[in-house]
Chains A and B, each alone.
Chain A
Amino acid sequence: MKKKLVFEIGTEELPSSCLYEGTQSLKNILSDKLEKNRLEFSKIETFGTPRRLIAIVYELNNVQNSLEKIIIGPPERISFDEQGKPNQAAKGFAKGIGISVDELEKIPTDKGIYIGKKLFEKGKNTVDILPEILNEVIYSIPFSKQMTWANWQIKFARPIRWILAIYGEEVLNVEIESLKSGNLTYGHRTLCSNPFKINNSEEFLKILEEKGNVVVDGEKRRELIKTQIKKIEDKYKENKIKVVINKDLLDEIINLVEIPNVLIGNFLEEYLVIPKDILIKAIEYHQRYFAILNEKGEVLPEFIVVQNGISDKNGEIIKGNERVLKARLSDASFFYNEDKKHSWENWNEKLKGVIFYSKLGSMYDKEERIRKICNKIFLDLNKNNHGIPDEILEFSTRASMLCKTDLVTNLVVEFPELQGVAGREYAKERNENKEVYEAIFEHYLPRFYGDVLPQTTTGIIVSIADKIDTIAGMFLAGVTPSGSEDPFALRRRALGIVLSLLENNFNPDIKELVKFSVDLYKEFLKFNEEKELKIICDIVDFIMARFKFTYEKDEKRTDIVDAILETGEFSLISISQKYEAIIKIINDGNMEEISMPMIRCKNIIKNINLNEEVKPDLFKEEYEKELYEEIILKEKLIKNLNSKNEYSKSLNLLIDFRKKVDNFFDKVLIMDKIEEIKNNRLNLVKKAFNLYMLIADFSKIIVVQ
C-alpha cells in the first residue's frame, strides 16, 4: 500500500536565503535517504515559509523493499582441503561476512562454482524506520549560517520549535533533543494563535492553507503578489502606471511572508526631486518596497508594500509604512542635498583616507592605478588596430579618477547599494560626458553571474582596468579564492574581464596587462622578481581558467584551448580564432595531418635541451636541406597570416608541411655518428616543432575517432 508522508520542521523566522537552501537540501537529503533505505515513492515536494520547512512524499510504500543479495567468496576448488573440509580461505571469508562456515553455500556462476551466501533481509514497515530517517534528515540539512539556542546541541538556521510527521494517518515519533514530533502544526503567527491538529497526511496542506492562513508554496506566494500588483496597476490611474518589480527583491519578499497582501501607499511629492535611480533604490533598499512609475517612466509618489497577512482593515499598516518611508526619503534627500555642496576634488581628498585593502593603498590610489591601466589598454588596443578614438583616452582617464569617488558621498555611506549609481547621477548633474558618467556605473558590471556587461567603450575599458587591478592586488596580498571561498569575488571579476574582451573583440595580451598591473603595486608592496613572475603566472592561469570555463559551459573543447595556451598565446580573441580554425580542420578530418608529424618531432626532442641555431652548412642529405628551406619559408608566411588572424590559411600551410617532415624522418638518420651532425639534425627537428607551435601544441589535442 502507498500513502503520503508529510514532514514539517517548524522554526522561528528563517532568513530568506535559508529557505532556498533548506528546501533544496531537504528534498535532496530526504530522497537520498529514502532510496538508500529501499523505500519507494513517486515524488517528493518541498516547501518553505519563514516559519517552516515542509516535505511531502507522495505514494510512499508502506513496507521497505526486501533485500536479496548474494555475497560471492572464493572459488569452490580452493576453499576445501583434501578431506573436503573448509580450509583457511573459506573460514576467512565466512568470518569476514559474519557467518559460520556451516552456513556457506555453493553458488554457480559463469566462471564455475564459488562459495558464498545468499542473504535475504525482509523489508520492515515504513512507519518503523521513518522516525530514524527523519531524525537524520534534520541533522543533515546544511545551512551556510547556523546557530544554536538555549542548551541545545543541534545547529540549524534558526531554532526548531515543532516537528510534525504523519504517514497516512499514523503520527510518527521523531525526537530531536527535548523536542518530540506530533500531529500539531501552527498557522500564521499573528492570525491564528492556537495550533491545529492534523488527522492525516492528506488534509495537512489544506488545513494549513485554509485555517492556518499559510501559503506554503513560495512560487504561489510569488504569483499572488504579482496578481495583486497587476490588480493595483489596472485599478489606479487607468492602467498607466507600472510597478518596478525588482526580481531579487521579489525573491526575498516571497520568503518574508507566509501569506502576502499587497498594499499601496503615498509619500510627499517633494521627494521626487531626488534622481530616479537613487529614489528607486531608497524605496527598495532598507524597507523592501516596490517603486511605481508613470507612463513616461517617471517615479510616482507612491509605493507598494507586501504585508505578511490578509488585510489592513484599519489602514494602520500602510500608515506606519508611509511614516517609515518618509523618514528614509527625508534621509536620502538630506544626504543628496548635502552632497551637492561637495566637489569631486573635495571627495577625492577624502577618498585618500578610505583603505582599499590593508597595505594596498587607498581607494584614491586605486583610481590612480585604474587610470594608468586604462591608458595601457587604450594603447594596446590601438596598437592592434582597434581604431579607438583618442577622446576615449580622455574619457577613461576622467572616469578612472571618478569611479570610486562616490564611496565617500553621504548618500553611498547611508545606502551602500547606491555605489556607482550615485556617482553616475552626480556626474550627470555635473555635466560630465555621457561616456564618463555611464562608465562610473558600468565599471562595476557584471555585479553577479549572468549580469549585463558594460556597453560604452569607456565603461568597458575602466571595468577591465578596475578588475585587473583588484585581482592583481588580492593575489599580491595572498587573498586568492579557494574552493567555495572567494570573498572578493575574484572569479566573477575575472569572468567579467573575459566576457567583456570577447564581446567587444578586444585583443590585448593578458599577460602583459597583468604584468603592467602587478608592477603598479611596487609603490605599495615589496616583492622580488621571483615572486612577481609567479604571481603573474598565477593570475594569467586564473583568468584563463575563467576563459576555459566559458568554453566548457558552451560544451566546447578545452583540450584545444590548452593546446593553444601552451604556445604562450595570451590574447583571448586570437585564442578563440585559432580555436575556430582548428575545429574546422578537425571537422574536415585533417587533424592528423598536423598532429602526427608534430608528435613525431616532439617525441624525438623531448627531454633534450636544444637551443642552438640550425647550421645549414652541416647538412649532408637533400631532405634535411629541403625541410629546412620549407621551415624558413613557412615560418615567414605563417607569421604574416597570424598577424592578420588568418589562422585557417596558416593551418593549411601546416597540413602541406607534413610531407617534408615525413620525408625527413623516413629518409634521414638523425642519430649520425658525428655528434655535430646529430645535434644539428635535432635542432632542425626542434625548429620544425616550433613552426607548429606558432599555432598550438597539437600533441595536446585529443583525437576522437
Chain B
Amino acid sequence: MNFQEIIFTLQKYWAQKGCIIKQPLDVEKGAGTFNPDTFLRCLGPEPWKVAYVEPSRRPTDGRYGENPFRTQYYYQFQVLLKPSPDDVIDLYLGSLSVLGIDLKNHDIRFVEDDWASPTIGAAGLGWEVWADGMEITQFTYFQQMGGIALKPVSAEITYGLERIAMYLQDKESFWDLAWNDEMTYADVHLDSERQWSIYNFDVADIKMLLDLFNKFEKEFENALSHDLVYVACEYVLKCSHVFNLLDAREAISVSERTLYITRVRNLAKALCAAYINQRKEKNFPLLKDKSLLKDN
C-alpha cells in the first residue's frame, strides 16, 4: 500500500465510523493536537468526531534529510473521538486491519506512554502502539487541555503515517517509501527537508523571530479582546512555532526557555477558557442530550 493509499484508506475507514473528514489547518504546528479541531473541540461537553491529515513541523528534529526516519516535517493522521467510545480500541484495531495488517500474525502492543504538552497545558494518559516493535500510533485519553480538566474525555489517535508506511512497505527509510506507484517520499520531500533543516538550524533570522514572538503574542490579545477565538488560536500556534524555531537556532537559554513556555501556556489557557465561555453562551449547540450538562 503506497503512502497516499494509506491516507485514503484511513479517511474512508474513519468516515464510515462517523467522523467528519477535514483537511489540514494552513498554519505551522508541531502536531495534529494543535489544530483547533482537537485543541478547542476537546473542550466542553459537546460531542465531536473528526479525522484529518496534519503536516507537523518540529524544527529541532531536522537532520538535513540524512536520517532515515527523523525529519522536521512529517505527516500525522489525527482522529479525535469525543466522548471516547467504549469500543475505541477495537475501532483502532479495525483500522489496522483495513490497512492490511493481519493482527493474528503480528505483535500489536499497547505500551504505557503518558503524554503531556506543557506549552498548551495539556496532559493525557495512554499508550504508544507498537507493531512488531515499531511505534506506529500514539493513543491518548485527554485529561486536561489549557489547564482545564476535560469532561467528557476524548480519545485521540495519532498515526505516524511514515512509520506505518515503512512497516507496511517493509522499507528502512522514510525516503524510500512509495508515495504513489511512481514517486518516492524522497522525490516529494527530500529537497525541502534539506532546505528547511538549513533554515531552521543555521539561517532563520533570530532577531526577526524574537520580534515576531512578541508581535504574535500581542496580536493574540487583540484577537481575543474581540472574542475571535479561532483567530486567537492561530496566534497561539504561531507563537509556539516561532518558539520552536528559536529553540532550533539555540537562541534561547535554559532559563529563558521556561519563560517562553509559560508565555505560550498562558495564551493557551486564556484561549481555552474563552472558547468554553463562547460555546456556553451559545448553550453548547452540538450537545443534543442537555442532561449531560448536569455532570459538568
Contacts and interface: CB of A to CB of B under 8 A. Distances in A.
Interface of A: 12-13, 15-16, 50, 145, 147-153, 158-159, 161, 189-191, 256, 287, 305, 307-309, 312-314, 316-321, 323-327, 330, 353-355, 358
B295 A151 contact: yes
A513 B124 CA distance: 44
28 contacts: A12-B89, A145-B114, A147-B125, A147-B143, A147-B153, A148-B141, A149-B84, A150-B84, A150-B86, A151-B292, A159-B86, A189-B89, A190-B93, A190-B103, A190-B106, A190-B108, A256-B111, A314-B105, A316-B105, A317-B132, A321-B133, A323-B166, A323-B170, A323-B172, A325-B133, A327-B172, A355-B254, A358-B255
A158 B109 contact: no
A148 B143 contact: yes
Nearest to A314: B105
A191 B103 CA distance: 8
A309 B107 contact: yes
Nearest to B253: A353
B105 A324 contact: no
Nearest to A318: B132
Closest 9 CB pairs of A and B: A320-B132, A15-B112, A13-B110, A150-B83, A321-B133, A324-B133, A190-B103, A147-B125, A151-B152
Contacts of A353: 253-254
Given A150-B153, A323-B134, A354-B254, A159 B114 contact: no
Interface in B79-133: 83-86, 89, 93, 103-112, 114, 124-125, 127, 131-133
A167 B97 CA distance: 38
Contacts of A354: 254
A324 to B, nearest CB: 4
B260 to A, nearest CB: 15
Interface magnitude class on chain B? 35 or more
B193 to A, nearest CB: 18
Contacts of A305: 133
B39 interface: no
B51 to A, nearest CB: 18
Given A151-B151, A327-B68, A256 B132 contact: no
Given A12-B110, A149-B153, A150-B153, 12 more contacts: A145-B125, A147-B153, A148-B151, A150-B83, A150-B152, A190-B103, A317-B107, A318-B132, A323-B166, A324-B134, A327-B69, A353-B253
B167 interface: yes
A423 to B, nearest CB: 21
Contacts of A13: 110, 112, 127
A602 B206 CA distance: 73
Interface in B265-289: none
Given A190-B108, A287-B133, A148 B153 contact: yes
Contacts of A158: 125
A308 B89 CA distance: 17
A148 B172 CA distance: 38
A651 B255 CA distance: 57
A326 B172 contact: yes
Most A CB atoms within 10 A — which of B110, B167, B172? B110
Nearest to A309: B107
Contacts of B108: 189-190, 308
A316 B132 contact: yes
B15 to A, nearest CB: 22
A355 B292 CA distance: 47
Nearest to A151: B152
Contact of A320 (B68, B69, B86, B106): B106
Interface in B155-212: 155, 166-167, 170, 172
B125 A308 contact: no
A702 to B, nearest CB: 49
A13 B166 CA distance: 25
Contacts of A324: 132-134
A1 B155 CA distance: 47
Nearest to B85: A150
Most B CB atoms within 10 A — which of A153, A158, A320? A320
Contact of B106 (A50, A151, A256, A316): A316
B109 to A, nearest CB: 6
A336 B151 CA distance: 46
Most B CB atoms within 10 A — which of A16, A312, A316? A316
A159 B141 contact: yes
A190 B112 CA distance: 18
A13 B106 CA distance: 17
A15 B110 CA distance: 9
A256 B172 contact: no
A153 B151 CA distance: 9
B254 A190 contact: no
Contacts of B292: 151
A161 B109 contact: no
A62 to B, nearest CB: 34
Interface in B131-148: 131-134, 141, 143
A50 B130 CA distance: 15
B255 A355 contact: yes
Contacts of B110: 12-13, 50
Contacts of B107: 307-309, 312, 317, 320-321
Contacts of B172: 323, 326-327
Contacts of A15: 112
A316 B127 CA distance: 23
Most A CB atoms within 10 A — which of B106, B127, B295? B106
B152 A256 contact: no
A323 to B, nearest CB: 6
Given A324-B133, A326-B172, A16 B106 contact: no
Contacts of B106: 190, 316-317, 320
Contacts of A149: 83-84, 141, 153, 155
Contacts of A161: 86
Contacts of A153: 295
Given A149-B153, A320-B167, A327-B172, A313 B132 contact: no
A323 B176 CA distance: 14
Most B CB atoms within 10 A — which of A16, A323, A358? A323
B177 to A, nearest CB: 14
Contacts of A152: 153
A314 B143 CA distance: 40
A149 B85 CA distance: 9
B153 A319 contact: no
A147 B141 contact: yes
Contacts of A12: 89, 110
Contacts of A327: 68-69, 172
B82 to A, nearest CB: 9
B41 to A, nearest CB: 15
